[in-house]
Structure formats: structure tokens, C-alpha cells
Amino acid sequence: MSDGSADTRTEIMEATYRALCEQGYADLTMQDIADEVGKSKSLLHYHFDTKEDLLVAFIGFLIEEFEEKRGENAAEPADVRLREFVDWFVFSPEDDRAAFHIALLELRSQAPFTEAYREQLVRSDELVRETIVGIVEDGIESGVFRADADPDAISRLVFATMDGARIRQATLAEDGYAAAVRDALYDHVLSDLVVSE
């Protein structure tokens, strides 16, 4: 792919994000995305046959961005990295991520019926869990976390807890819910992982 094509793809993906935040999944059209990117709808159809194809590519784009960013704080101690990762799930009502998470939840609801969505979402979930597992394993190896900690179990618990808190906050407009769950997770679960000095 040439640099021009990569730039166009990035513009379309960023416009898709903005359009999803504004329109939600159910009301999103190719025209909304074209308007957001400032290009013709025919340009979108040149790159993507359908809205579904574009959204599958968009989820892939998000996964690529996550993969690029997930090692940025690798020099930090594992307990700090784990807290920073958990903080990623917390957003305020003013944050555009709130609208995006509602749109993403709508898209996720289509996964049982759309195999291409399901495949990308499974890939995304696996990457998130693998990231947490890696942090916990690093923490055990460096002596920050208890040697008997189970990285896979912790990964599933952290991810399910924070994803559920984020969904509840987004869908029920319970401002601060994700932050409260995060704090409880820190105090009652994650603090027990850390080796006492």
C-alpha cells in the first residue's frame, strides 16, 4: 500500500470513529462517513464494498492501534502498568469515548449474526486478555506480583470486570461507575497481587 493509500485509509478510519460517535451504529451510513472525511461516497465504495466491510476494517484498525500502543509503558513496573491498563477502561461523560463505547456496544450486538464482526471482536478480546496476561507474567517474573498468581484468571477477571463496568456506565448513564469499580478492583483484588515489602 502506498503512503497515499495509507493516508486515505487513516482518514477514513478516523472519520468512521467520529461518525460512530455522532450517529451510533444503527443510524450510521456510508454517507455519514463520507461527509465526515470530506470525500465522496464513491471513494468509500472504491475501498469498501459495504458498510459492514468498512466496519470490519475499522475494528482491525483499532486493533492495530492498540497493538502499537500496548508496549509504550513497558519500562514501568508491572503493578504500575496494570493500573494504567485498568485506567484505560474509565471515561467521563464528557469524553467522546462514552459515545464511541455505546456505538461499539451496538456493533458488538451484531456479532452473533455477522461472522466478520465476531472474528474481529474475538481477535480484539484475545489481544486485551493477552496484554493483561503479559503484564501479570512480567510482574511474577520480576517479583512484583506473588509467584502463585494465575495470569489467565486475573486477565479474565480484570477484563470482564472493567468491560462490564464500562458497559453499565455507558448504557445506564451511571457517571463514575467505571471509576468506582476500578477503585474496588484495586483495593480488593489487585492490591493482593503485589508482594508485600
Same domain, 46 and 106: no
For 132-153, how does the pLDDT look when each residue is reduced to its tens digit (9 = 90+)?
A: 999 999 999 999 999 999 999 9
* Range from 1-5, 129-133, 149-153, 176-180 carrying the lowest mean pLDDT: 1-5
Among residues 16, 46, 69, which one ends one of the domains?
A: 69
Same domain, 140 and 55: no
pLDDT score, position 142: 95
Q: Which of 18 and 174 is assigned the larger pLDDT?
A: 18
Same domain, 64 and 86: no
Same domain, 59 and 145: no
Integer-rounded Cα Rg, in Å, for the chain is: 19
Same domain, 172 and 120: yes
The mean pLDDT of the chain is 90
Same domain, 99 and 29: no
Distance from first CA to last CA of the chain, Å, rounded? 52
Among residues 18, 42, 69, which one ends one of the domains?
A: 69
Confidence of residue 197 (pLDDT cuts 50, 70, 90): low
**Overall average pLDDT of the 124-134 stretch:** 95
CB 22 within 8 A of CB 102: no
Domain count of the chain?
Answer: 2
3-state secondary structure the chain: CCHHHHHHHHHHHHHHHHHHHHHHHHHCCHHHHHHHHCCCHHHHHHHCCCHHHHHHHHHHHHHHHHHHHCCCCCCCCHHHHHHHHHHCCCCCCCCHHHHHHHHHHHHHCCCCCCHHHHHHHHHHHHHHHHHHHHHHHHHHHHCCECCCCCHHHHHHHHHHHHHHHHHHHHHHCCCCHHHHHHHHHHHHHHHHHECCC
Same domain, 89 and 182: yes
Confidence of residue 186 (pLDDT cuts 50, 70, 90): very high
Among residues 69, 85, 104, which one ends one of the domains?
A: 69
Q: Which domain holds residue 50?
A: 1-69
For 39-75, how does the pLDDT look when each residue is reduced to its tens digit (9 = 90+)?
A: 899 989 999 999 999 999 999 999 999 888 887 788 8
Same domain, 41 and 116: no
